[in-house]
Amino acid sequence: MFHPVSILVPLLILLPNLLFFKFEPQNMPDKTSRNLFFTGAEFIGRMGVIMVPLFYSLHVHNGFEVLALTVMLLSLGIYYYGWGRYFRNGRPYRLLFTPLLGIPVPLALSPVLYFLSASVLLHSGYLLIFSLILGAGHIPASLRDYQRNA
């Protein structure tokens, strides 16, 4: 069954990405070959973390769920801070991957942590699986981009 409130889970992560398509990065490198495994995992994970939350309701009743909500909000804050840094500084491509507050590839790690935490609030094993698949593709691909463009 569709749960309208749960649309907020993927929407909060997608908002900065929508701006990214309108305001593309500056100094973007030429197209480079990407690892097919990472690209595929990233795509499958993204589709899953966007679609799965729509079919689960949020639960914040016990201490473990409150902790998951706290981690979710902290990772969302880091994600927005990273995107804010990117837009404030003229949208250089390298800032999409540059460490922030000691966190490597924060714009890859924070959404994965966000969705992992959301899987607890939604009581969704499927979201947990898709979050891990997203992490298996998005984090290594972002690390490779960072190393190539540092």
List the domain boundaries for the chain: 4-21+36-149
Percent of the chain with pLDDT over 90: 79
Is pLDDT at 34 greater than 90 in this prediction? no
CA angle 12, 15, 19 (to 5 degrees): 165
Is pLDDT at 129 greater than 80 in this prediction? yes
pLDDT of residue 22: 87
Higher pLDDT, 19 or 68: 68
> How far apart (Å, rounded) are the C-alpha atoms in residues 17 and 44?
17
